[in-house]
Structure 1
Amino acid sequence: MRREIFEAHYDAVYKYIRYLTNDTDLTHDLLQETFYRFYQKNYTEHERTYLLKIARNLVYDHYRRKKIIGFFQLKSEPVAAGELPEAVIERNAENEKLYAALQQIKWNYREVIVLRYIEEYSVKETAMILACSEVKVKNNTARGLKALRELLGGEDDV
């Protein structure tokens, strides 16, 4: 059973921690601790949600101890067959600009935007992971997107 849970959720938890830390070694350490804590509690449902909640708390605790909250990794997107190099360069420049702006907004806004738009979780799933209400998720999403638009000069593609 434990192996099935690990195999089913490893990629999602790894990716989530990696986005937040941008450190491979730290990601592996926190990933191991996440599954260890998960297995201690014997959750029987919503496994992925609880794993991400544990991972989030571990990352947050790590950075709170170090008093570092500015971190993010660029999400690399695969190059489509036949895509022109200029298009790839332009898309990568836009992504860099977006992620640089993400580093400048409040932690709680950044966290919601990562979960909602990068990890593509629903409002309900995001609320469960962050242990807050759906209203708070919606409000933080709206405020985070507004902050990003202001940082990016009012662009509508956020």
Structure 2
Amino acid sequence: MRRDIFDTHYEAIYKYILYLTNDCHLAHDLLQETFYRYYQKNYDANERLYLLKIARNLVYDHYRRKKLIGFFTLKKEPPANAKLPEEVTLQNAENETLYNALQQIKTNYREVVILRYIEQYSVKETAQILNTTEVKVKNDTARGLKALRELLGGVRNA
């Protein structure tokens, strides 16, 4: 059963951590720690929700420990040597453009847009993962999409 949980969710959790850190080595380390902590607690319901919460907290904790001021000041380019599960590459120029634009918007907008449109979580699930209200998720989503549209020059419907 534990192997099924890992096989089912590792790719999505890895991508989520990678979007937040832009470091494939750190993402692997935090992915392992995420599943380790998940298995210690033996959550029964909504595995992915708890895995994302754990992953998000681990990313924040990592940067908090390092006391990095620019928590989400990410590189302008995605990792060059990435493929799932070992390396994640962004497939085409459109994805790269979107990825670069995501790095330029506020952290809370970025998280909401990633969870809502890349990971395809509902407003309610996103609010649970981020420990916030559904109203804040809706507001941050609207503001994040507006910021992306401005950065992308209205080229894309975000």
TM above 0.5, yes or no, is yes
Name the SS for the 2:72 alignment partner.
Answer: coil
Aligned-residue offset at 1:139: 0.7
Segments of structure 2 that go 5 or more residues without pairing to the other structure are: 80-88
**1:136, 1:150 → 2: CA distance?**
21
User: If the length of structure 1 is used for normalisation, what is the TM-score?
Assistant: 0.80
Between the two proteins, the alignment pairs up a number of residues equal to: 144
**2:154, 2:24 → 1: CA distance?**
34
Aligned pair partner of 1:70 in 70, 73, 87: 73
4+ residue runs over 4 A deviation: none
Contact 2:20 2:72 in 1 (8 A): no
Aligned-residue offset at 1:16: 1.4
1:144 — aligned with what? 144
1:7 — aligned with what? 7
2:86 — aligned with what? none
1:40 — aligned with what? 40
Contact 1:105 1:144 in 2 (8 A): yes
Supply the AA of the counterpart residue of 2:72: I
Contact 1:63 1:69 in 2 (8 A): no
Instruction: Tell me the C-alpha RMSD between the 2 structures.
Output: 2.0
Supply the AA of the counterpart residue of 1:14: Y
Supply the AA of the counterpart residue of 2:110: R
Quote the sequence identity (%): 69
Contact 2:34 2:55 in 1 (8 A): yes
Contact 1:110 1:144 in 2 (8 A): yes
